[in-house]
Amino acid sequence: MCLAIPGKITSISGEGFERTGKVNFGGVLKDVNLAYVPEAKIDDYVIVHVGFAINTLNESEANKVFEYLKEMDELGELDQGDSEQ
């Protein structure tokens, strides 16, 4: 099953394997086990699969999809510049 979705941690309780939190998925709050993301804090986004956070989402990496596009845009403009000469 690859179906996992991002949500924002709003509260945390417990420790170790019993560490859980309330995670907000676009307005819906669910209890999520945070045992596998010991470094996750309140307001972090986590990726959740069958009630478990399997990683925290890295915001600076998240922007790379769009930075990549911008780079391609800029290269594209350079190409166009060349062909006009």
Residues that bind other proteins (CB under 8 A): 1-6, 8, 17, 25-26, 33, 35-38, 45, 47, 49-52, 54-55, 57-59, 61-62, 64-66, 68-69, 72-73, 76
Q: Smallest distance from the beta carbon of 27 to other proteins, in angstroms? A: 8
Q: Which is nearer to other proteins, 22 or 49 (CB)?
A: 49
SS3 sequence of the chain: CCCCEEEEEEEEECCHHHCEEEEEECCEEEEEECCCCCCCCCCCEEEEECCEEEEECCHHHHCHHHHHHHHHHHHHHHHHHHHHC
Q: Smallest distance from the beta carbon of 4 to other proteins, in angstroms? A: 5
Q: Which is nearer to other proteins, 61 or 84 (CB)?
A: 61
